Amino acid sequence: MSGFRPSLRSLSLAVPLALALTACGGADSGKDGNSPAKGQAKETAPAGVAHQHTVLEAEIAAKGGETKAGDYRVGYIVEAAEPWFHSEHNGHGKMVHREPTKNETHHIEIIPMEAKTGRIVADVPIRLEVVDSKGKAVQAQKLNFYYAEFFHYATNFSIPKAGKYTLRATLERPTFLRHGASGEKPALSEKTTATFRNVELKPEN
């Protein structure tokens, strides 16, 4: 949690601000107050994109934190164990609803964002370890990719007792292909680890 919250807040507020400036004839508007000046792009974004980042920023501030790791800005959020829909038969069957099991206590989310653009990154294999004060991993799991108000990676964890823990998220290289010219360094091509210390995990259910 190394001081990147202002950047995320700036990102989440920039889109609504751009929408407001466009609507009221801001600095990028033309003489008629509605069109961008010649040679300038109109700064707009779909409402869902703006809403996604507004909600994300608020939840990180209220229930988590963030840090910088490699080419990423990584956020985390801790909530009570949650249900979800998943496909039967290794992803090939119908979608069924899964409730949290009796022993699951927390739903821990990791949100990897490209640091230079703020975009949430898809196709990142992520493994999250919950480490106690003695350095022992009390649980480690691969995270799933979720559709929600904002895209994120998470799963339910079973934390044996309340206390302060370290969350250690290992982000493997994303599996997607990359456009680029020969000789360029491919984007987001390095494995990295994001560490969050002194995270209080208390009974949520």
pLDDT of 3 > 80? The answer is no
CA 138/CA 24 separation, integer angstroms: 53
Q: Domain count of the chain?
A: 1
Q: Examine residue 164 and state whether it is found in any structural domain, yes or no.
A: yes
Q: What is the residue range of 143's domain?
A: 66-176+184-201
Share of the chain above pLDDT 90, in %: 73
Tell me what pLDDT residue 64 has.
98
Tell me what pLDDT residue 38 has.
61
List the single range of 38-47, 183-192, 195-204 with lowest mean pLDDT: 38-47
Q: Examine residue 38 and state whether it is found in any structural domain, yes or no.
A: no
pLDDT, mean over the chain: 85
121 within 8 A of 174, measured Cβ to Cβ: yes
69-82, pLDDT tens digit by residue? 999 999 999 999 99
CA 158/CA 114 separation, integer angstroms: 30
**Radius of gyration of the chain from its Cα atoms, rounded to whole angstroms:** 20
